């Protein structure tokens, strides 16, 4: 380097810029944390007195409780179905040639660019046309389609990094295809499968726009319950719930980073 001073300056300026942007990213979360511990129902900064009461209120609120339960039902089914369907298809995509290969792939990736309100509206109309009641089945079907692209991508990336010679070795030693699959391929793919399932579960649990269209009062998920709450009430219960959300999500991501390597899963660093 010819001019070390210039690059130090550029580095310092860069650090300030990046720091400011990260502060912008963190700001709403930090503000909500302060608001959640504010003892009074009306927001003020800094709060005059502190309290845990909004956490108790949020945890006791019926719509949040049913929303949470419904969310677990929908997420459990949707992410598991998406994992099974997506992992199998990613494997087929990676290795086999079959008719309509690119068409099916294109259709399954389309929910990434089609607005969620259109997808929600579509499943709502489809359910009505088929005469189906607005039960969990519609919500689950809609969520499966929404999270499939993420499962596909996640499994596909780990398939690319898998050494196929291990499978060939197992096969040459006499293992039938089913045995190769269960004893070699699936264990080697485990990190990709876990991260795919995890992403699918988090995204499904938090999916709002499409859920708003396809859920009914009885099947309302947590984000829909939260949206209705924000529209009707202004007290900090929602702030308290948001704090629980932020903390839980951050913990899950930190653990995912430790065990799965978030950078590799998101493909933002080269896996060597």
Given 59, 72, 73, 121, the residue binding another protein (CB under 8 A): 121
Burial of 123 (0-12, 13-18, 19+ CB in 10 A): buried
Residues 68-87 within binding reach of another protein (CB under 8 A):
84-86
Cβ neighbourhood burial of 147 (10 Å; 0-12, 13-18, 19+): buried
Phi, psi of 246 (to 5 degrees): -60, -45
Within residues 145-164, the interface with another protein by CB under 8 A covers 145, 148
Q: DSSP letter at 112?
A: G
Q: Of the candidates 56, 60, 88, 168, which one interacts with another protein according to CB under 8 A?
A: 88
**For residues 73 and 85, which CB has a smaller minimum distance to another protein in the complex?**
85
Can residue 255 be called a binding residue for another protein (CB under 8 A)? no
Subset of residues 202 to 221 that bind another protein, contact rule: CB under 8 A: 202-203, 205-209, 212-213
Q: At its nearest, how many Å lie between another protein and the CB of residue 55?
A: 15
Binding region for another protein (CB under 8 A) out of 49-57, 160-168, 187-195, 231-239: 231-239
Written as six digits, the tokens of 216 are 């009914």
Give me the least distance between CB of 270 and another protein, in Å please.
Answer: 6
Q: How many residues does the chain have?
A: 272
Count of residues of this chain found to bind another protein when the rule CB under 8 A is applied: 101
Q: What is the largest CA-CA distance in the chain?
A: 73
Q: Give CA–CA dist 63/54, Å, rounded.
A: 15
Residues 4-23, interacting with another protein (CB under 8 A): 6-7, 10-11, 14-15, 17-18, 21-22
DSSP 77: H
Q: How far is the CB of 57 from another protein (least distance, A)?
A: 15
- Sign of the dihedral through C-alpha 136, 138, 139, 140: positive
Closer residue to another protein in complex, CB, 107/190 = 107
Q: Does 132 interact with another protein (rule: CB under 8 A)? A: no
Is there a contact between 45 and 34 (Cβ–Cβ < 8 Å)? yes
- Asked if 168 touches another protein (CB under 8 A), the answer is no
């Amino acid at each position: 380097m010819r001019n070390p001073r210039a690059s130090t300056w550029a580095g310092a300026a860069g650090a300030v810029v990046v720091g400011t942007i990260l502060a912008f990213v963190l700001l709403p979360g930090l503000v909500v944390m302060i608001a959640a511990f504010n003892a009074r129902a009306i927001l003020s900064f800094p709060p005059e007195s502190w309290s845990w009461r909004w956490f108790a209120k949020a945890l006791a609120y019926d719509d949040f409780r049913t929303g949470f339960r419904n969310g677990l039902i929908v997420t459990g089914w949707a992410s598991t179905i998406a994992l099974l369907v997506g992992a199998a298809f990613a494997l087929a995509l990676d290795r086999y040639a079959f008719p309509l290969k690119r068409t099916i792939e294109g259709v399954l990736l389309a929910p990434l660019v089609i607005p969620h309100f259109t997808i929600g509206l579509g499943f709502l109309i489809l359910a009505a046309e088929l005469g189906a009641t607005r039960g969990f089945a519609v919500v689950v079907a809609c969520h499966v389609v929404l999270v499939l692209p993420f499962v596909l991508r996640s499994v596909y990336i780990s398939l690319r990094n898998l050494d196929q010679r291990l499978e060939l070795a197992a096969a040459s030693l006499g293992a039938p295809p089913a045995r190769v699959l269960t004893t070699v391929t699936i264990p080697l793919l485990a990190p990709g499968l876990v991260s795919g399932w995890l992403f699918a579960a988090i995204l499904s649990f938090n999916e709002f726009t499409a859920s708003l269209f396809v859920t009914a009062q009885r099947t309302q998920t947590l984000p829909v319950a939260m949206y209705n709450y924000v529209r009707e009430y202004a007290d900090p219960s929602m702030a308290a719930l948001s704090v629980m959300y932020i903390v839980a999500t951050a913990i899950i991501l930190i653990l995912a980073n430790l065990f799965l390597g978030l950078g590799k899963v998101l493909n933002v660093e080269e896996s060597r």
